[in-house]
Structure 1
Amino acid sequence: MTTLAAASPSGAAETASPWARDGAAAVRLVDAGAAREPGARLAAIAIQLEPGWKTYWRQPGASGVPPRFDFTGSSNVAEARVGYPAPERSADEDGVTNVYHGLVTLPVTVTPRDPSAPVELRLVADYGICERVCVPVRAEAALRLDGDAAGQGPAADEVRAAAQAVPKQAALGAAGPVSVASVRRAPGPAGVVSIDIVAMAPDGAEPVLFAETGDGDYAPAPTLAGAPKDGLATFRMTFDEPDLPKSGLKLTLAAGAQAIETPVALDEIAPSP
């Protein structure tokens, strides 16, 4: 679960746009000052949901609406890259979905065309919110980013915490306290393909694995196959078709406060034992 601490949309906020409310959700942009990348700025899309409501990760899962964030109306922006902290896993009668609750803070790394000039950041957000029934929402927000001294206060602190929570890139088999150790085809019935994913996570931390295709499309939710042992956990995915996606997989592994994102090409998936 990576939903950050809630805050009231009516509260004062430093270097943030006004909240744009629609029903059970409100959206604003927040300026957190200079980014780690030279010349870039750190901003965020903040979505405040009322209790009991949820919105979706970049890949919703079995149902739901993927968010779409459009910054093309901005000025002096070469790129606005949205980061996604690992979501929560939710299961209901519609299947397994990947969601956020409460205050959702999605960091945005903004690369100006001219780093010496102000940035006019303009957002059109299309996303879904659900309680029992899903509702599409469109919101617009605008914010001027014009100085490294900006981005002070609790709202900016939330942005920096969210940026730290975005999964770090890690290659398959890379060393680390959290890693995807191996991906292997598993024996299964005719007409389907199953794979086993072995993940490493600190003892006592419950690992959660999210999957997409390499193109970011839907992939079945990995399920934990037994309790983790000696820091290793095995997940299984079963595709109801005889072939894996040609684009491979993108796996997001979260355990405790740590999260990584690992791309897996088809030729990195070992054959069945």
Structure 2
Amino acid sequence: MRNAISRRLASIQPGQLRFRRHPCPLCRQTRLFVRLANDETGVRCLHCRATPVTLSLVSVLLESQPDLAQKSVYELSSRGALFAFLQRNAGSVTGSEYFADLAPGAWQGSIQCQDVQALTHPSGSFDICTSTEVFEHVPDDHRGFAEVCRVLRPGGRLVFTVPIDVHGRTIERARLSAGGDIEHLLTPEYHGDPVGNAGRILAFRNYGADIVDRLLASGFDSADLRMPDHPAPWNYGRAVVVACKAARTGKA
């Protein structure tokens, strides 16, 4: 916790500190937001600690799934503002983390390890799957998307965010060789990781608008990019990806 506070204080950009009251979709009321830096990672709801990325996802989730209280949700994490929101508002919520030294399905304390490329959940287990900033770190995202599609019920939805250039195409930065070694195609890019991996994790790709095609090729019936109706304070917002599984079981 102390390290996290130190990193946050170190990220403050002189002259950028601002406060503003704004509706928070997670808190379901107007809250005080702080801006520590002029980017999406520097903005937080002071009550629930949600960033504009999480605000965008929850806004789109509530718009597309007003009956969330009757739905079972699988969130590809077990902590943070989104997981806490789902615990309060979904019919049921299941979380997990990826631990490189554990087999999928194993437990580390009260947290289950899952690899999105090889989920141990039975087919048709959930109505909704959510994630923030996960799939760019998955070596084989085709397998990951296909696995999420498998564990969703007919008509289920995957609602998620990734860093994305909505006007560009996906750029592969790294891949796994047949022997399991990482081959870098471009200069390595790392993102912060609060769970492990020395606080950072490799990005295998930078997504573009063709992520929609990748989802369709992985078994989803439809997919699109959606901007929230109400942007986060200071007009920060993130495109949210929504992919739907066919309502009938004739298509995976």
Common fold: TM-score over 0.5? no
Q: Comparing both structures, which one devotes a greater share of its residues to strand?
A: 1
* TM-score computed with the length of structure 2 as normaliser: 0.23
Larger helix percent: 2
Structure of larger gyration radius: 1
Using the size of structure 1 for normalisation, the TM-score is 0.22
